[in-house]
Amino acid sequence: MPSEVAVKESARAVRMSGDERREQILLAARHVFAEGGFAATTDEVARAAAISQPYVVRLFGSKRDLFVEVYRQAAGEVIEVLTAAAQEADPGEAMGRAYLELIEDRDLLRLLMHGFIASADEEVGRVARHCLGEAYRLFVASTGAEPDEARQFVAFGMLLNVLVAVDADAHRGEDAGMDALIDCVVLATRRAQA
Amino acid sequence: MPSEVAVKESARAVRMSGDERREQILLAARHVFAEGGFAATTDEVARAAAISQPYVVRLFGSKRDLFVEVYRQAAGEVIEVLTAAAQEADPGEAMGRAYLELIEDRDLLRLLMHGFIASADEEVGRVARHCLGEAYRLFVASTGAEPDEARQFVAFGMLLNVLVAVDADAHRGEDAGMDALIDCVVLATRRAQA
DNA sequence: GTCTATAGACAGATAGAC
DNA sequence: GTCTATCTGTCTATAGAC
């Protein structure tokens, strides 16, 4: 027989401060939206955060507002990390390394991708374009590289995003061309890190 | 006062053969899905094709089946065009040119992007990965280029896709970094075409 | 070949209790 | 701070008529 506390906890979420709860929901929403894009539901977010669906809406106003806040935060982190890397001794190498570390957070990257295409929403589109633009601008400004080199840096990032989005690694062996592409990309990233 | 014919046409779609109608719906659906991804509705498709929503479902079985067919067709066209280009005298240049022509069809590109991320559906994911893999494989096979060069070809394609998806060109002047990136990309494509 | 009517499911948001 | 109950709108899919 479950203890009285356990019963209470399963029916009703543990009480938190508003700020704690907001942070927790933002984290849960990042994962949920990363998987399903804007089409994911506030109910999924609520379940991931172990609270009720109306409470999610209550705290953020609307699903759209929640999505925009999650997206802003994610894009902000990317820009922040790249900005920090751009101030290191070898900015080009540091930015490459930084992006590879970012990409390990599959949720972050998939979320970014959703924003690139969910530009249906004007605000999301603005943030997405700014994030892309900053990656390019930072590379040029910090390394003094030619435009073409910076362009290749960003392009490689987009390739990595797409490979993460289509879950390429988990489907090795299904398509010869894709396998070869992954091999080449893996080699290129190893070279960059060496 | 509208003629009797006009009244009839506004209430009831012009009769077509099944094949004609299927083609027309596929075209309409390509546009609708390119805009809204899988979240777009069968009702939007129906309005775009000027027929009733249940008829769309009737002809394709389900919205998911329609989406998959639209996506297969789009990916097939891309592979077909790239394959043809790969058989020309200067395959590297021809494939670049071919992709630039493809990209002028905004619907096609946005649809592809949606598939890259709508890989939630297993079949769509498979098609998306194959399309990417083929672009890489064809480039290597036809030009004999080093893997890295082919990788850069595909990466540049992904960058173009994303720029189309975020509607970068229509938002010039809003973000300095993005403006510089667009300029650089435009120059690079001009160089490739010269 | 195409429609109207509608069933059935679900999601986002609101109201109000505790 | 958090929930339950519920309204309202929307969407896919089916049934059956023409």
Distance of CA B35 to the CA centre of its chain: 10
Give CB contacts under 8 A, 24+ apart, made by B145-154: B145/B92, B147/A180, B147/A183, B147/A184, B147/A187, B148/A184, B148/A188, B150/A181, B150/A184, B151/A159, B151/A181, B151/A184, B151/A185, B151/A188, B152/A152, B152/A155, B152/A156, B153/B92, B153/B95, B153/B96, B154/A159, B154/A181
pLDDT at A1 over 80: no
Return the closest-CA partner of residue A38 out of B117, B50, B133, B177: B117
Q: Report how far residue B135's alpha carbon sits from residue B82's, in angstroms, rounded to the nearest whole number.
A: 7
The pLDDT of residue B192 is 84
> Which of A35-49, B37-51, B109-123 comes out lowest in average pLDDT?
B109-123
Domain count for chain A = 1
Q: Which domain holds residue A27?
A: 11-193
A130 at B interface, C-beta within 8 A: yes
| Residue B133 to residue A177, Cβ atoms within 8 A | yes
For the segment B137-143, the average pLDDT, to the nearest whole number, is: 98
Q: Yes or no: say if A134 and A80 are a contact pair by the CB < 8 Å rule.
A: no
Task: Give me the residue label for tokens 């070279």.
Answer: A191
The residues, ordered by sequence, that sit 6+ positions from B52 with a Cβ below 8 Å of its Cβ are B13, B46
Give CB contacts under 8 A, 24+ apart, made by B6-11: none
What are the C-alpha distances in Å from B19 to residues B11, B22, B24, B60, B71? 22, 5, 9, 12, 18
| Residue A184 to residue B147, Cβ atoms within 8 A | yes
Does residue A6 lie in a domain region?
no
Q: Report how far residue A40's alpha carbon sits from residue B39's, in angstroms, rounded to the nearest whole number.
A: 10
The pLDDT of residue A5 is 40
The pLDDT of residue A192 is 84
Distance from the Cα of B22 to chain A's closest Cα (Å) equals 27
Q: How many CA atoms lie within 13 A of B40 on its CB side?
A: 24
In this complex, the residue of A147, A161, A188 whose CB is nearest that of residue B151 is: A188
Q: Report how far residue B41's alpha carbon sits from residue B53's, in angstroms, rounded to the nearest whole number.
A: 9
Q: Report how far residue B184's alpha carbon sits from residue A151's, in angstroms, rounded to the nearest whole number.
A: 7
B95 token code pair: 């494939």
B60 token code pair: 């394709």
> Which chain A residues contact residue B158 at CB under 8 A?
155, 158-159, 161-162
Supply the mean pLDDT for chain B.
93
Does residue A1 lie in a domain region?
no
Residue nearest to nucleotide D10 (CA to C1'): B41
| Residue A129 to residue B174, Cβ atoms within 8 A | yes
For the segment B33-44, the average pLDDT, to the nearest whole number, is: 97
pLDDT at B4 over 50: no
Does residue A162 lie in a domain region?
yes
In this complex, the residue of B126, B136, B178 whose CB is nearest that of residue A132 is: B178
Q: Report how far residue A148's alpha carbon sits from residue A151's, in angstroms, rounded to the nearest whole number.
A: 5
The pLDDT of residue B193 is 80
A1 token code pair: 């027989």
Tens-place pLDDT, residues A128-181: 999 999 999 999 999 999 999 999 999 999 999 999 999 999 999 999 999 999
B9 at A interface, C-beta within 8 A: no
Name the CA radius of gyration of chain B, rounded. 20
The pLDDT of residue A118 is 72
Tens-place pLDDT, residues B78-98: 999 999 999 999 999 999 999
pLDDT at A3 over 50: no
Q: Which nucleotide is nearest to B65 (CA to C1')?
A: D12
Query: Please, which pLDDT band fits residue B180 given cuts at 50, 70 and 90?
Result: very high
In this complex, the residue of A39, A134, A155 whose CB is nearest that of residue B159 is: A155
> Which chain B residues contact residue A185 at CB under 8 A?
151
The pLDDT of residue A11 is 60
Give, in Å, how far the C1' of C1 lies from the CA of B60.
14
A192 at B interface, C-beta within 8 A: no
The vertex-B67 CA angle with B63 and B71, nearest 5°, equals 175
| Residue A162 to residue B159, Cβ atoms within 8 A | no
pLDDT at B118 over 50: yes
Does residue B1 lie in a domain region?
no
Query: Please, which pLDDT band fits residue A125 given cuts at 50, 70 and 90?
Result: very high
Q: Pick the residue from chain B with its C-alpha nearest to A123.
A: B166
For the segment A10-16, the average pLDDT, to the nearest whole number, is: 76
For the segment B127-143, the average pLDDT, to the nearest whole number, is: 98
| Residue ranges of A 20-79 with Cβ closer than 8 A to chain B | 35-39
> Which chain B residues contact residue A147 at CB under 8 A?
180, 183-184, 187
Give, in Å, how far the C1' of D1 lies from the CA of A38.
27
The pLDDT of residue B18 is 86
Does residue B174 lie in a domain region?
yes
B6 token code pair: 């006009």
Does residue A5 lie in a domain region?
no
| Residue A179 to residue B133, Cβ atoms within 8 A | yes
Q: Report how far residue A179's alpha carbon sits from residue B54's, in angstroms, rounded to the nearest whole number.
A: 41
pLDDT at A39 over 80: yes
Does residue B176 lie in a domain region?
yes
Q: Report how far residue A42's alpha carbon sits from residue A29's, in angstroms, rounded to the nearest whole number.
A: 8
B7 token code pair: 């009244």
| B61 dihedral zone (left: phi>0; alpha: psi -120 to 50; beta) | left
Q: Pick the residue from chain A with its C-alpha nearest to B119.
A: A166
The pLDDT of residue B194 is 75
The pLDDT of residue B119 is 67
3-state secondary structure A37-96: HHHCCHHHHHHHHCCCHHHHHHHHCCHHHHHHHHHHHHHHHHHHHHHHHHCCCCHHHHHH
Q: Report how far residue B167's alpha carbon sits from residue B193's, in angstroms, rounded to the nearest whole number.
A: 22
| Residue B136 to residue A180, Cβ atoms within 8 A | yes
Q: Which of residues 14-43 of B touch strand D (CB under 7 A)?
A: 40-43
| CATH code assigned at B72 | 1.10.357.10
Q: Yes or no: say if B59 and B21 are a contact pair by the CB < 8 Å rule.
A: yes
Does residue A4 lie in a domain region?
no
In this complex, the residue of A36, A159, A162 whose CB is nearest that of residue B120 is: A36
Tens-place pLDDT, residues A81-124: 999 999 999 999 999 999 999 989 999 999 999 999 976 799 99
pLDDT at A10 over 90: no
